[in-house]
Amino acid sequence: MEQHAFPETETLEEQVATALPVLDVMGTQLKQTSDQIETAVMDVCTRFQSMMQRARAGVSSASELLSGEGQGSSVGRSRESIGVLIEEAQQTIESLLAHTQHSAKVSQSAIERINRVRAATDEITKSLAQLDDITIGNRLLAVNARIQAVYAGDRAAGFGGVANEIAVQARRSSEIVDLIRSVSGELRSISQSALTDLQVMAADDQKAMERSKQEVDRVLEDFRRMNGHTRQFIEKMTRENASVVDEISAAVRSLQFQDRISQRMAHVIGELEGLRKAFARHTQNVEVDSKAVMDRLSSLYTMHEERTVLGTNDSALNEGDVELF
Amino acid sequence: MAKTALIVDDSASMRQMVAYTLRQGGFEVVEGENGQDALDKIPGHKLELIITDLNMPIMDGITFIQKVRELPAFKFVPILMLTTETQASKKEQGKAAGATGWIVKPFDPDKLLQTVAKVVP
């Protein structure tokens, strides 16, 4: 192409001498390009390795979560597992239910004791009826004694005193029986009330316990199902992560192409340098002006680093700069 | 205590890739840019492994291995050559110089670690 042609000169030596600076520039361009590729590959490698690190950490964490071997808990390694936590929750709930059942048994036992108290109260009531009969008998006896004392006259005045005393005792006995009956009735009433409360409470506890058990079983079943889904998801993500690690690893391996390119470019640069030296030996006495060739290169180069190779540093902008007109 | 490996390669990216792989395998890593640079760095280190390139400026891998084998402390350290070189004659030269093994680039990280496990007790 005309754009790349060297100026026409008289001899081959002059042509070669004119081109010598270009060989220098080519060698430097190749070296810098090789260095840039290496820098870019290292940057990509660093990022890939960071990604691999994180993907591996993800796989490791997921595996620990699935196996319940996490070390973050203060209560022990095995408690990290969601499955283990659910089983522990189940055991705790069952323990609470067992405690409630025990309370129900205690209530039942209290009901039986109160029933025995009621039976004893009934016995007391029966005994009080017998005491009533005795009191009535004593009163009749006192009345008869008074009548006999009147018939007997002064000789039986002592019977009258005895009869009065029997009447007094019968009255006191009757008052005590009434008091005992009253207390017994109150006791019966209180025990009946306590019995009713306990029976209602025991029945409510039993229903609440059955409802709680059903609810807990349902919630735990939901947890188990969710845990199963979560495990499947984590297992899938673990496989995906492992696959990503493999792919990144393969990509990093592919990036080793840079080393091969670098070597090949180094060989080319070496040969170019050899050629330049050989040409220089043959043209050391040839006077030429390479300015036109260098100017042409300068007009072709757009990047700052390319112009730097030519020894011109006229760039006013840096990479990433934005300038609005 | 972690084992220490020396990586010798004029390519910074290759040193980085090999170093990353070896660190994954539990090694601490010392790096040299060529044979001479590595020779200057190894005194004071207890090395369990050396991985070196063949073609390097200033001092190549074969010469480096010969120099290392002259040092009593490193006479029996496993040395793997990691190179693009595939010629049998070069491989024989490496073996004669004292190399333990020869790995052709590009390397597979897992395979490299498997090979290292075979030569590092």
- Can you give the pLDDT at residue A160? 80
The conformational region for residue B56 under phi > 0 = left, psi -120 to 50 = alpha, else beta, is beta
Q: Is pLDDT at A12 greater than 60 in this prediction?
A: yes
- Can you give the pLDDT at residue A270? 92
Contacts of A54 in chain B (CB under 8 A): none
Better-scored residue on pLDDT, B4 or A180:
B4
Domains in chain A, please, with CATH?
2-69+256-309 (no CATH), 81-234 (1.10.287.950)
Task: Average the pLDDT over each of A96-100, A187-191, A196-200, A257-261 and give the range with the smallest value.
Answer: A96-100
pLDDT in tens, A77-88: 444 567 777 788
A4: confidence class by pLDDT, cuts 50, 70, 90: low
- Can you give the pLDDT at residue A19? 84
A76: confidence class by pLDDT, cuts 50, 70, 90: very low
A7: confidence class by pLDDT, cuts 50, 70, 90: low
A21 CA to chain B: closest CA distance, Å? 25
Strand B79-83 to strand B27-32: parallel, antiparallel, or no bridges (unpaired)?
A: unpaired
Better-scored residue on pLDDT, A323 or A253:
A253
Query: CA B98 to CA B80: how far, in whole Å?
Result: 10
- Can you give the pLDDT at residue B120? 94
Tokens linked to A69? 């071997």
Q: Is pLDDT at A72 greater than 80 in this prediction?
A: no
- Can you give the pLDDT at residue B119? 95
Q: How many domains does chain B have?
A: 1
What ipTM goes with this model?
0.77
CB contact under 8 A, B13 and A259: yes
Q: Is pLDDT at A193 greater than 60 in this prediction?
A: yes
Query: CA B42 to CA B30: how far, in whole Å?
Result: 8
Query: CA A134 to CA A156: how far, in whole Å?
Result: 25
Mean pLDDT of chain B, nearest integer: 94
Query: CA A4 to CA A296: how far, in whole Å?
Result: 8
- Can you give the pLDDT at residue B22? 96
Q: What is the pLDDT averaged over residues A31-39?
A: 91
For A66-76, b where at least 16 C-beta lie within 10 A, e where not — what string?
bebebeeeeee
Tokens linked to B113? 């670690």
Q: Is pLDDT at A93 greater than 90 in this prediction?
A: no
- Can you give the pLDDT at residue A100? 80
Contact B84, B49 (CB under 8 A): no
- Can you give the pLDDT at residue B59? 97
* CA terminus-to-terminus distance, chain A: 35
Residue A231 Cα distances to A60, A74, A87, angstroms: 14, 23, 16
Q: Say which DSSP state B98 is in.
A: T
AA letter at A201: M
| Residue-range definition of the domain harbouring residue B61 | 3-119
Nearest to A262 among B11, B20, B109 (CB): B11
Altogether, the residues listed in chain B come to a count of 121
Q: By CA distance, what is A39's nearest residue in B?
A: B13
Q: Would you say the pTM of this structure is higher than 0.80?
A: no
Q: Is pLDDT at A62 greater than 70 in this prediction?
A: yes
Cβ of A46 under 8 Å from any chain B Cβ?
yes
pLDDT in tens, A278-323: 999 988 888 888 888 888 888 788 777 787 888 776 655 666 667 6
Query: CA A176 to CA B8: how far, in whole Å?
Result: 116
CA angle A124-A130-A134, nearest 5°?
Answer: 135
Better-scored residue on pLDDT, A294 or B62:
B62
Cβ of A246 under 8 Å from any chain B Cβ?
no
How many residue pairs from chains A and B have C-beta atoms closer than 8 A?
Answer: 45
Contacts of A273 in chain B (CB under 8 A): none
Of A62-66, A138-142, B41-45, give the range with the top mean pLDDT: B41-45
The CATH number of the domain holding residue B68 is 3.40.50.2300
